[in-house]
């Protein structure tokens, strides 16, 4: 819905109101309950944005201060953030003392408000969020944002509180870098150290409804013209952070397999961000390029998936493994999974029987085969709709 509103020319104030719940004609104060009393939980003021409904004749606001946190500061490149519909959080800290800035990649979806919130969970510091374009241009300096292809709504700078929050709306899919640090580091030119007891949670909240399980998604950058022996290439993850692949030579399969991988990775990211991205190994059989000689992987329906404790039989926590297997079942076209963790077979196979009405690969959806101790070997339906 938000995409449609943006396309129809609704103002950033209107979009901000939809995302954050308030926006007035003059100076909309936002109190979402996330910031502590006395903090700078503050203002969404649309008056400075060109074409604003609130005040179309207003002078543009001051430009954000150019900030290059990783030029002077010690940056840690953290795993990419989720921009999938709904809410997803990561928890991090500065306990090593090696870094004073954490950098996250984020792909902004087109026309959807992405609400970023950094909340202090340990130590005493005032959190700062900075957002740069991939070319280094500062879109949001922690207090002031730009207007244009990416519109920025500062809700709380964090300068006097323990919550920093900003809303971002991109006109088209846009890659950005998000930096988390403290205002003492920012004001010191990114030279000061962060306290080693500093910790925080970083949440992305995208206010759109995720597609229901069973709805197959297709990679937005899928190229139907890129074929080899009748198979298609799994493209790089878009948005980044859903999966990583072994290499182009090992990434060819039928279109159904491509869509299943993308669908599962998209649902998996917000469920288990610390076990993301999925590592996608061989789809096709290519001994010279892929270094593994498989007995299968020769018809475009097979893939190997690695996801830490979600695929390793030696991990005591079985919940991630069951959740990942269920996501494959929820696609409605998965034929079977080879993984030797017998502790989860009964649960997974019962779920398959409950959710489907077709015969699995070799009569049992999840089963053990020698060598499948740290990965899922997944098979999907053949073009004729069968598994065997």
Q: List pLDDT tens digits, range 126-153.
A: 999 999 998 999 999 999 998 788 999 8
Q: Which ranges of the chain would DSSP assign to H, the alpha helix?
A: 2-7, 12-20, 69-72, 183-187, 255-271, 287-290, 319-330, 342-355
3-state helix vs strand vs coil in the chain, percent to 5:
20, 30, 50
What count of other Cβ atoms lies within 10 Å of the Cβ of residue 159? Answer: 18
Chain centre to alpha carbon of residue 384: 33
Residue 148 confidence (pLDDT): 81
Residues 344-375: tens digit of each pLDDT: 999 999 999 999 999 999 999 999 999 899 99
Q: 227-380 adopts what CATH topology?
A: Muramoyl-pentapeptide Carboxypeptidase; domain 2 (3.30.1380)
Q: What percent of the chain has pLDDT over 90?
A: 57
Q: What is the pTM of this model?
A: 0.59
7-21, 53-67, 116-130, 279-293: range with lowest mean pLDDT = 7-21
Block residue for tokens 């007995």: 295
The CATH number of 2-206, from 3.30.2010.30, 3.40.1010.10, 2.60.120.380, 2.30.30.100, is 2.60.120.380
Residues 156-196: tens digit of each pLDDT: 999 999 999 999 999 987 889 999 999 999 999 999 999 99
Q: Which secondary structure element, helix H or strand E, spans residue 278, and what is its range?
A: strand 278-280
Token reading at 384: 């004729």
Token reading at 323: 């959740």
Phi, psi of 50 (to 5 degrees): -55, 135
100-104, 157-161, 170-174, 198-202: range with lowest mean pLDDT = 170-174
**What's the distance, Cα to Cα, between the start and end of the chain in Å?**
42
Residues of the chain with CATH 2.60.120.380: 2-206
Residues of the chain with CATH 3.30.1380.10: 227-380
Contact in structure between 101 and 69 (CB atoms under 8 Å): yes
């Amino acid at each position: 819905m938000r995409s449609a509103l943006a396309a129809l020319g609704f103002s950033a104030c209107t979009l901000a109101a939809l995302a954050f719940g308030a926006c007035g004609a003059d100076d909309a104060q936002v109190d979402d309950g996330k910031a502590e009393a006395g903090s700078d939980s503050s203002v969404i003021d649309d008056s400075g944005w060109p074409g604003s409904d609130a005040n179309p004749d207003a002078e543009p606001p001051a430009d954000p201060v150019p900030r290059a946190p990783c030029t002077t500061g010690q940056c840690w490149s953290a795993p990419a953030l989720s921009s999938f519909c709904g809410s997803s959080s990561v928890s991090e800290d500065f306990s090593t003392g090696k870094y004073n800035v954490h950098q996250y990649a984020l792909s902004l979806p087109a026309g959807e408000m992405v609400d970023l919130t950094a909340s202090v969970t340990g130590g005493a510091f005032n959190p700062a969020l900075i957002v740069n374009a991939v070319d280094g241009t500062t879109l949001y300096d922690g207090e002031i944002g730009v207007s244009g292809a990416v519109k920025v709504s500062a809700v709380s700078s964090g300068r006097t509180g323990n919550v920093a929050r900003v809303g971002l709306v991109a006109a088209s899919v846009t890659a950005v870098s998000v930096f988390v640090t403290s205002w003492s580091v920012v004001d010191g030119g990114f030279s000061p150290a962060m306290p080693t007891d500093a910790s925080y949670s970083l949440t992305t909240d995208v206010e759109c409804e995720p597609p229901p399980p069973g709805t197959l998604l297709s990679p937005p950058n899928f190229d139907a013209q890129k074929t080899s022996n009748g198979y298609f290439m799994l493209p790089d993850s878009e948005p980044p952070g859903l999966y990583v692949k072994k290499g182009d030579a090992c990434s060819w399969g039928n279109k159904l397999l491509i869509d299943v991988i993308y669908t599962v990775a998209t649902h998996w990211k917000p469920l288990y961000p610390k076990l993301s991205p999925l590592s996608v190994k061989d789809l096709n059989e290519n001994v010279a390029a892929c270094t593994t000689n498989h007995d299968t992987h020769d018809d475009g329906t097979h893939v190997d998936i690695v996801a830490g404790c979600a695929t390793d039989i030696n991990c005591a926590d079985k919940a991630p493994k069951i959740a990942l297997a269920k996501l494959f079942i929820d696609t409605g076209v998965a034929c079977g999974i080879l993984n030797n963790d017998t502790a989860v077979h009964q649960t997974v196979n019962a779920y398959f029987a409950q959710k489907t009405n077709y015969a699995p690969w070799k009569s049992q959806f999840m089963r053990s085969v020698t060598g499948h101790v740290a990965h899922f070997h997944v098979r999907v339906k053949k073009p004729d709709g069968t598994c065997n």
